[in-house]
Structure 1
Amino acid sequence: MTSASPKTIQIFLPSGEPTGIRVAEITTRIVQLIEVPRKRLPEFFKMAESTQVGVYYLVAVPEDGSASQVYIGQTGDLRARLAKHDKTKDFWERVLVLVSRAHSLTPTHALFLEWLSIDTARKVGRYGDLNGNAGSRPHTPAPLEAECREMFETAQTLLATLGHPLFVPLPQPDARTTETELFYCRSGDVVGRGLFTNEGFVVLAGSVGRRQHVPSIQGTSDESFREKLISDGVMKIDGDTVVFARDHLFRSPSTAAVALLGRTANGWVTWKDHAGKTLDAVKRQAIGA
């Protein structure tokens, strides 16, 4: 995030349902973000915002912990563009739409915000990118670019607040990371390194796992989940092993361990710190104590 200052965010539920359409905004900013579950598109199309110029994010977040995916676009008519995507793109589960509360977003704003969103999402690498060739940076006058970057900062905050941290880098070990914050998964050729975070467990790039699945998980969701990580490019095959090509966030330590070991595992005891203490002892038992 570009700013760590305190913020007040207002979330409006047009239908009164927390799982329905949600409209998020920082009341002092001119843009708002509208989250629309795919099945609620007809309701969104009745809203005035659906005819505006906007930037949109089609997202899918698999329950199995494999790579989330995003397609980013912009349009002068959200209703028409999203109706087309509903017919032609299968992968997405919900769309997040960035519009101006003051109806001040122009096609020039939208083009730059689309480019900036794609460029930032690729650099962060949290979500699989489905945009293909996104084109070059559009020419944008300096005053308008400044407006766009302020809008983008707001979009970063609102997306993360609604559970889609597209532009928030995963935690990385650095000079301030103590050895006790790193955890290891070791078994034969398996050498995994990871961090326990507020969002889940991050397996770090370069971690090495077992290529083969044990017989007990063949034909199960665990096998499909590991194969999906390979097809998504999160893990790359290297002989009898798989290597994490990039950092990847898992929802639980156990899912992270399954990805590396190719078998069911309790990640709370499989992941250990440099002294051999389990993740459970370091994090959960320490809280109890």
Structure 2
Amino acid sequence: MTQGRSIRLFLVDGTPNGLLTAEIMNWTGHVLTGPRSKLSELVQRPECGRTGIYFLVGPDPDNSLRPLVYIGESDDVATRLKQHNRPEDKGGKDFWERVCLITSKDQNLTKAHVKYLESLLIKNAGDVGRAKLINGTSHDYGNLPESDRADMAFFVEQIRIVLPVLGFDFLRDSTRPPKSDEPQKPGSLESSPQFFMKVPRHGISAQGQEVDGEFFVLKGSLARREWAGPAHNYQKLHQQLCDEGLLVEAGNGLRRFIKDYAFSSPSAAAAMVVGRAANGRNDWKIDGTKTTYGEWQDQQVSAAAESNEFSPDYNS
């Protein structure tokens, strides 16, 4: 199983909506984030005078389901952020509301390193598809030594771990991770069985699985071609998946998932399949049984509680 990680968070001004720093144990990276309203304080921090990567994040007025993101690099981030804070007609950027800066505690990141990191992160964000990038296409900076490229690949993986903890999901992978060969603990999300949803009268047949807290609809699942129910927040998501080619035409009033795709809940996944609001806890069932997702989850919780009750360490 994946090992746990320790992340140290520090509220710089003692408030949850102010400046915040984050570090992962045994990682040289240092994260500083805060709202644009705190920019005057943020740029005075010593981290902002270092070489680093930064993210500008704000709402997309055309799509409430995902943010707008700009990924940049600089050897003097404070100066670059001041430029971005100018009015748009003077070369600045108006869209962003939060900023996140990543530097190195040992200050060993060079200009070449952050250019390479920028190109990797832009590509990753584009592949994940959880945000609309302001950057456009990424540049290919591949002239680092092999050892440095390996170090930067590790650096990127740590960034992808820490950012979702801070509320930035645009680098979190939406594809199902490969199943581990290691035995899983009872109740582990990785041990989720496959669930099925079928609506024979519409030809709908879909498969799903819960992994690491997200519910995946699996590649090849068939879903309704158009949203058929009353207006709902999920309707925009259904249209978005169609527009982006994740749900493709399959004939007979159906669409097909071209890859595994993660949703925040079984109900969101079910809604994308049947084209209307749905209760995924009841609609997804373990293959060959009448056991619903909700019943399976309740069994997992009960089994875990019983295991703790009879554990030698219980109530110790």
TM band (smaller chain)? 0.7 to 0.9
Corresponding residue number in structure 2 for 1:221: 233
* CA 193–73 in structure 1, closer or farther in 2 if over 3 Å, else same: farther
* CA 65–33 in structure 1, closer or farther in 2 if over 3 Å, else same: same
Corresponding residue number in structure 2 for 1:127: 130
Query: Which consecutive unaligned segments of at least 5 residues does structure 2 have?
Result: 185-189, 304-316
Q: Secondary structure at the match of 1:213?
A: coil
Comparing 48-57 with 236-245, greater Cα deviation is found at 236-245
1:44 to 24, 42, 45: 42
Corresponding residue number in structure 2 for 1:21: 19
Superposed CA offset, 1:105-149 (max 9, x none): 2211111112233344456x3634624321224311345435434
What TM-score, normalized to structure 2?
0.73
Query: Which consecutive unaligned segments of at least 5 residues does structure 1 have?
Result: none
Report the aligned-residue RMSD: 3.5
Q: Secondary structure at the match of 2:99?
A: strand
State how far apart, in whole Å, the 2-side matches of 1:153 and 1:224 are. 31
Matched residue type, 1:23: T
Is this contact kept in 2: 1:67–1:229, CA < 8 A? no
State how far apart, in whole Å, the 2-side matches of 1:57 and 1:148 are. 17
Matched residue type, 2:248: K
* CA 168–133 in structure 1, closer or farther in 2 if over 3 Å, else same: closer
Is this contact kept in 1: 2:174–2:261, CA < 8 A? no
State how far apart, in whole Å, the 1-side matches of 2:204 and 2:151 are. 48
Comparing 171-180 with 27-36, greater Cα deviation is found at 171-180
Comparing 172-181 with 34-43, greater Cα deviation is found at 172-181
Which structure is higher in RCO with an 8 Å CA cutoff and minimum separation 6? 1
Corresponding residue number in structure 2 for 1:268: 281
Bigger Cα Rg: 2
Percent identical residues: 29
Matched residue type, 1:226: H
Superposed CA offset, 1:67-105 (max 9, x none): 666543222332343455564656655333211223332
Is this contact kept in 1: 2:31–2:101, CA < 8 A? yes
Aligned residues: 283
Is this contact kept in 2: 1:65–1:250, CA < 8 A? no
| Alpha-carbon shift at residue 38 of structure 1 (Å) | 4.3
Q: Secondary structure at the match of 2:13?
A: coil
Q: Secondary structure at the match of 1:192?
A: strand
| Alpha-carbon shift at residue 202 of structure 1 (Å) | 1.5
Corresponding residue number in structure 1 for 2:296: 282
Corresponding residue number in structure 1 for 2:176: 171
| Alpha-carbon shift at residue 248 of structure 1 (Å) | 2.2
